[in-house]
Amino acid sequence: MENVIVERVADFLKLYPPFNELSKNELYFVAEQVRVHYIPKRDFVFKIGDSAHNEFYVVQQGAVGLSSQHANTMQWIDICDEGDVLGLRPFFAEQTYAMQAIAKEECVLYGIPIEAFKKILFENKAVQTFLLESFASNTRNPKAADAKGKLLSTNYASTENETTELDFFQQAFYTNNPICLMANATVQKAALLMNEHNISSLLIEENQLPVGIITDKDIRKWVATGEMQIADKVHEIMSQPVYCVSSEISVAEAQTLLLQQKIGHLCVTQDGTNQSKIIGILSEHDVVTAQANNPVALLKQIQRVHKTSSLIRIRESLSRLLEAYLDMALPMPHIMKVSNAITQNLMHRIIEISENQLGKSPVNFTWLGIGSQGRGEQILLTDQDHALVFEDVPADQYKATQTYFLQLATKVSEVLHQLGYVYCPAEMMASNPKYCLSLTQWKTQFSKWIDHASSKSIMMCSIFFDFTKVYGNENLTTQLRLHIFKKVNGNQMFFAYLGEDALKNPPPLGFFRQFLIENDGKHKDEFDIKARAIQPLVDAARILVLAEAIEGKNNTVERFEQLAKLEPQNKEMYLACIKSFHTLSKFRAVEGFKQNTSGRYLNLSKLSKNDKMKLKRAFKPVQEIQSLLKNRFQLTHFL
């Protein structure tokens, strides 16, 4: 190999772990050993059961998909991009591959002879640690600055409910063989058992199946207050049903479930349901111990708050927590779930406090989060976007009723503003009389937007169609959603306008694969990642689920997952859209925290070459989904 080629190989390898831990001499030694392989699209790098190759691989160009023996429909365990390492198994385990690696597109791989690399492996402690951690933790890059990736999912199986994202978190440790009690035992017996074993909870079981849980808090609440007697049965004070999980649950999954359900314990059963044998109990304390940064603590603080100043500190703590999660390379799905759960609870508490201060509402109402909050995708501090729906009232009571809710919304908006959520420049807030309406008026408003489609009305639909209940009456939310689906059903003209709006931003790359940047204004020469890359995916997912009449799916990722189930022929594209959405969202979040902005505009000159390549790779699904929209909704004549 000529020196100039060796130098090029060395320059590439030194950008990625573990090669960035090599000395200059070690790096050049490896580069001299490299064999370059061109792999055509859909060709195998190796198959399940193949004898181990005498080299492992680094992706220099392209992408390699990893799948299990169950992946006969190409359901990828993971995708390896530039700089990723694969084929490490021969270093540490049996000499046959336990998975298959297939070129998702034309690839150039660097093959590094295992025997030659072993010389470095046993002399360079950092490299040895990296490879051992990678194999032991089952990730292709335990030091990654983004999603770590799976080398092999030990419990992987292709099922109908399979999620597209992998479990990147450590398995949660739970208490085996927990102390249980029958439902007809006395409260006194429960208290004595807790004291004897120095525990704070007991699972209540029948025939080894969980039927409830009792905690020391329950005993204090019912017995210490005199409402119940120690001779009463535990089934009278136990909490039910019990939330059950399987033994494979990760710390992150357990944390999210505790957060969403506002509970302190999870029951571990053989199959994760309440219809199988109890094998353990997982407490909030277990999660706290496993992960120091614990959003459950923030949730508890929210529940105790009575002052705005305390809410500000909690919102600041959430920002620090999310930024730490990004630094820790936790996957975007988990970061978004934690952010959404805490933000929703924070807003719920603000509305609750404001209503208490103002006095009980005259009729039922629901506070709607719209836009990114409505989709559960908000991470950064962005503009306020919300609306309010109240129950229908007689005409002579309407003005007084609306006045109350406008006062409530104003109080809430003021607190949100203090927390850092600035007022919406377009005043799309519940404090605006246009967006604080009765249920019937909201139905009338949506009907006008849908029946008289125009550029302005479609823009309003794009914002207000993504709504979720933050506080109040669920029935009002349901009625409004059913009305919308009824109005759009079969309305081809409406979908044509909605599709045109979804295509208003062209693909993010120009003819020569150059980034399309802003030409003038405050953000001249910067890249608008929201409008040019993220929003097209959001808009496409929305119009497609509306056209398929898929209800109850507001989140962009959940929408694409549902579409992937309904359209197997487009499954790979929809899954690629999910991956791109997470990649782009992470770029925006990192930029936002770094610059203390909304993260919308990227300064491309400050991105590394590798980051630019990742961005460009994330743009391909944007182009593909926009092409699908053009064909499906016959939009060529609109453009």
Q: Which SS3 state, helix, strand or coil, does residue 137 take?
A: coil
157 pLDDT exceeds 80?
Answer: no
pLDDT: which is higher, 387 or 514: 387
Please tell me the predicted confidence (pLDDT) of residue 509. Answer: 72
Contacts of 410 (CB under 8 A, 6+ apart): 431
Mean pLDDT of 265-281: 90
Using the CB atoms, write b or e for 470-494: b if 16+ within 10 Å: bbbbeebbebbbebbeebbeebeeb
Percentage, residues of the chain above pLDDT 70: 86
- Quickly state the pLDDT bin for 335 (edges 50, 70, 90): confident
Least confident of 216-225, 249-258, 483-492, 596-605: 249-258
Least confident of 164-178, 275-289, 355-369: 164-178
159: left (phi over 0), alpha (psi -120 to 50) or beta: beta
94-108, 147-161, 450-464, 584-598 — which one is most confidently predicted on average?
Answer: 584-598
Whether 437 and 397 have beta carbons less than 8 Å apart is answered as no
Alpha helices in 24-140 (DSSP H): 24-33, 89-92, 114-121, 125-136
CB neighbours of residue 362 within 10 Å: 15
Mean pLDDT of 169-182: 76
Locus of tokens 């499954």:
571
- Round to whole Å and give the CA distance between 5 and 51: 30
- Round to whole Å and give the CA distance between 46 and 86: 10
- Quickly state the pLDDT bin for 129 (edges 50, 70, 90): low
- Quickly state the pLDDT bin for 571 (edges 50, 70, 90): very high
Please tell me the predicted confidence (pLDDT) of residue 138. Answer: 42
Please tell me the predicted confidence (pLDDT) of residue 513. Answer: 63
Closest CA to 80 of 625, 572, 614, 588: 614
208: left (phi over 0), alpha (psi -120 to 50) or beta: left
Mean pLDDT of the chain: 83
Mean pLDDT of 411-428: 93
Mean pLDDT of 263-268: 89
- Round to whole Å and give the CA distance between 561 and 328: 26
Return the structure tokens found at 73.
């429909």
217 pLDDT exceeds 50?
Answer: yes
- Round to whole Å and give the CA distance between 308 and 304: 12
- Round to whole Å and give the CA distance between 560 and 544: 9
160 pLDDT exceeds 60?
Answer: no
3-state SS, 153-209, equals CCCCCCCCCCCCCCCCCCECCCEECCCEEECCCEHHHHHHHHHHHCCCEEEEEECCE
Helix H or strand E encompassing 36: strand 35-39
416 pLDDT exceeds 90?
Answer: yes
- Round to whole Å and give the CA distance between 538 and 577: 10
Max intra-chain CA distance, the chain: 89
Chain centroid, CA 19 distance in Å = 31
Mean pLDDT of 498-522: 75
90 pLDDT exceeds 50?
Answer: yes
Please tell me the predicted confidence (pLDDT) of residue 361. Answer: 95
Locus of tokens 């059913």:
482
Whether 599 and 588 have beta carbons less than 8 Å apart is answered as yes
324 pLDDT exceeds 90?
Answer: no
Helix H or strand E encompassing 399: helix 395-419
- Which amino acid makes up residue 89? R
Superfamily of domain 317-488: Beta Polymerase, domain 2 (3.30.460.10)
575-606: per-residue pLDDT in tens?
999 999 999 999 999 999 998 888 999 988 88
Mean pLDDT of 192-217: 90
Return the structure tokens found at 350.
């603000």
Superfamily of domain 3-136: Jelly Rolls (2.60.120.10)
Whether 141 and 17 have beta carbons less than 8 Å apart is answered as yes
CB neighbours of residue 68 within 10 Å: 19
Whether 199 and 206 have beta carbons less than 8 Å apart is answered as no
- Return phi, psi of residue 166, to 5°: -85, 160
Please tell me the predicted confidence (pLDDT) of residue 156. Answer: 27
Locus of tokens 């100043």:
309
Alpha helices in 567-608 (DSSP H): 571-595
In this structure, whether the domain defined by 175-290 belongs to CATH 3.40.309.10 is answered with no
Determine how β-strand 107-113 pairs with β-strand 35-39: antiparallel
452-503: per-residue pLDDT in tens?
877 778 888 888 888 999 999 999 999 999 999 898 888 888 888 888 888 8
> Would you call the peptide bond into 18 cis, given omega within 30 degrees of 0 as the criterion?
yes
Mean pLDDT of 260-284: 87
Return the structure tokens found at 353.
């406090």
Domain boundaries, the chain: 3-136, 175-290, 317-488, 498-638
Q: Which SS3 state, helix, strand or coil, does residue 228 take?
A: coil
364-414: per-residue pLDDT in tens?
999 999 988 899 898 988 889 999 999 999 999 999 999 999 999 999 999
- Round to whole Å and give the CA distance between 380 and 292: 22
pLDDT: which is higher, 350 or 200: 350
Please tell me the predicted confidence (pLDDT) of residue 173. Answer: 66
Please tell me the predicted confidence (pLDDT) of residue 352. Answer: 93
Mean pLDDT of 220-240: 86
29-56: per-residue pLDDT in tens?
999 999 999 999 889 999 887 888 889 9
pLDDT: which is higher, 499 or 509: 499
Whether 12 and 36 have beta carbons less than 8 Å apart is answered as no
CB neighbours of residue 579 within 10 Å: 20
